[in-house]
Amino acid sequence: MKKAFTLIELVVTIAILTMVISFTSVIFNVSIDAHRTSAASAEIMQKFRAITDQLNRDFRSLQKDAPLLIWFQKDNSLIAPNRFDQIMFFAAGDFQSTQLYDFINGTPNPVAGTSPLVGNIARIHYGQAQCKDPRDGFSRCKPEDLPKEMRILARRRHILTADTRLVPWPDFSDFVTSFQGLTPEDKLKNEVYEHDRLSLAQWKTIPIDDYGTVLLMFPDFPPWVDKGDPNTFHKLMCEGIGSFAIQWAYPYPVSAPSEFRWYPETQHFALMGGSDKFGVCFNIPDPTSTGVLPPWYFIQNTLYESGTFDSDFYPRALKFTFTLYDSKGIIKNGREFTHIVYLDN
């Protein structure tokens, strides 16, 4: 008589086989998810290193006697609000323009140009960029109006030069028109040009009333980056940066400092009149006598917990806090990072 499997043995065997296949499927899916998460984390860390390496290079040669402007902006959330801060400063280095200049009329022209512009001092600006509105594909969208995973960190750089073949922009003799001209072309020069035909000494001596035009550019004209336009690529620093916050270290308390704290925290927005946005300037004369420029505050007018900053105060360090997202949206809430740049070396 031939032996055969009983029905019960077949059922048990099929059940065990099903369990093995199920476990294998689970393990496979877990492995795939782990691989995707690992790849997303690696992408985010690559972005983090690119940002921090560039920040370190720029601030290593910061010109501490030159103007330093910081714009603070948060959304209306009371808990972990997104920030849209911007900073402009001057740094030394070996700078070379991305676009090629034709030197006929001073206009950068990547097609007809023959030479890059070079220099050893640059005006540098970091901030989240204006981009095309994803809803219609053509209108401009400020960073706060974009989905957080679609925001772009921009680095806008203007090389200071005295080359007389270039358009004298900004025009030192008519600085106001340079930055706040009546035509769109005037305002866009800050985007298109990679040069300032202005020396650092001239930047330091611009009258405060004229400097107001630079300050007004911050909230209204973040850098413009269009991923379909190669002429804007030199400003693209990093994609997928949801929040970008800047703070500086200040001594506390003012009477007998025993520690350093970071400014601004959430409560400082309330001290600045309760606004969700304000700016602070270093190395620019106090404009109180002229009545210029709320919502910008100058150090000797800027309140904190224990009084006001001294007029010659300069930060010991800057802290950058930002949230990064991977390109495929694997890590849903992104990753938050903090990077400190020390300025007192």
If one compares 234 and 10, the residue with the highest pLDDT of the two is: 234
Q: Higher pLDDT residue, 8 or 166?
A: 166
pLDDT 10s digits, 45-71: 999 999 999 999 999 999 999 999 999
DSSP helix/strand/coil, 265: coil
**What 3-state class would DSSP assign to 93?**
strand
- 132: DSSP letter: E
Cα–Cα–Cα angle for 203, 209, 214, rounded to 5 degrees: 55
The pLDDT score that the predictor gives to residue 110 is 55
The pLDDT assigned to 345 comes to 61
- 34 CA to centre of own chain: 31
Report the first-to-last Cα separation within the chain, whole angstroms.
94
% of the chain at pLDDT higher than 90: 32
Q: What is the model's pLDDT at position 24?
A: 72
Pick 308 or 227 by higher pLDDT. 227
pLDDT of residue 2: 58
Helix (H) or strand (E) holding 178: helix 175-180
- Asked if 223 and 235 count as a contact pair (C-beta separation under 8 A), the reply is yes
Can you tell me the mean pLDDT for 312-325?
Answer: 91
Spatial distance between the Cα atoms of 303 and 315, rounded to a whole number of angstroms: 15
- Mean pLDDT over the full length of the chain: 82
Residue ranges of domains in the chain = 42-86+126-144+203-342
d(CA 113, CA 293): 39
Quote the pLDDT of residue 299. Answer: 63
Of 95-109, 135-149, 160-174, the poorest mean pLDDT is in 95-109
Res. 6 pLDDT band, cuts 50 70 90? confident
Quick one: which of 344, 338, 323, 327 has its CA closest to 143? 323
Q: Which of 34-43, 117-126, 251-260 has the lowest mean pLDDT?
A: 251-260
pLDDT at 96: 92
Average pLDDT over residues 230-257: 86
